[in-house]
């Protein structure tokens, strides 16, 4: 499992929380704008095939509601808006994420290991004169 796969898993796990966070700061938003906000924040590589199912699950759970509106010079656009239940979930999940991140940080502390001098090469496998 490569680093890209792990980071993809992290992104998928955090995506609902991130989407609720974005929607909590806006009256409503649509898919492409949400993708842009994620990218601008440094969460790259989220595809529509990942975004829309996450939004659908949030809608099924009652955390977001959908509204159809006129598109800019094109067909109608699906807008997403956070609900009161979504705000409750956002607060709960934000606290849970912070606790989880603190736990992971405490288990992966590298400061003590990084402070130790690295082992010098032993010269094994080299020709000795």
Residue-wise pLDDT for 31-47, tens only, equals 999 999 999 999 988 99
Mean pLDDT of all residues in the chain?
85
What the block records as the tokens of 57 is 């699950």
Q: Which residues pair with 82 in a beta bridge?
A: 64
Residue with more model confidence, 101 or 123: 101
Helical pair 3-24 and 84-107, crossing angle rounded to 10 deg: 140
Euclidean distance between CA atoms 24 and 104, whole angstroms? 26
**Average pLDDT over every residue of 115-128:** 50
End-to-end CA separation in angstroms for the chain: 42
Is the backbone of residue 47 left (phi > 0), alpha (psi -120 to 50) or beta? beta
With 90 as the cut, is the pLDDT of residue 93 above it? yes
Mean pLDDT lowest among 19-23, 27-31, 71-75: 71-75
The DSSP secondary-structure symbol of 9 reads H
**Average pLDDT over every residue of 108-120:** 61
Rg over alpha carbons for the chain, rounded to the nearest Å, is 22
Q: What is the pTM of this model?
A: 0.77
What pLDDT is stored for residue 45 in this prediction?
86
pLDDT tens profile 44-54: 889 999 999 99
**Average pLDDT over every residue of 48-71:** 94
- Residue 99 to residues 27, 61, 96: CA-CA distances in angstroms? 28, 23, 5
* Length of the chain in terms of residues written: 129
Confidence of residue 83 (pLDDT cuts 50, 70, 90): very high
């Amino acid at each position: 499992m490569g680093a890209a796969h792990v980071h993809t898993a992290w992104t998928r796990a955090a995506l609902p929380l991130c989407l609720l966070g974005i929607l909590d700061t806006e009256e409503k938003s649509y898919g492409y704008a949400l993708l842009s906000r994620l990218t601008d924040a440094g969460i790259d590589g989220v595809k529509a095939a990942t975004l829309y199912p996450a939004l659908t699950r949030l809608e099924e759970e009652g955390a977001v509601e959908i509204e159809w509106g006129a598109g800019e010079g094109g067909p109608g656009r699906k807008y997403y808006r956070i609900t009161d239940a979504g705000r409750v979930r956002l607060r709960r999940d934000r606290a849970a994420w912070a606790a989880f991140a603190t736990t992971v940080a405490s288990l992966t502390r590298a400061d003590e290991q990084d402070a130790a001098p690295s082992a010098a090469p032993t010269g094994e496998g080299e020709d000795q004169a």
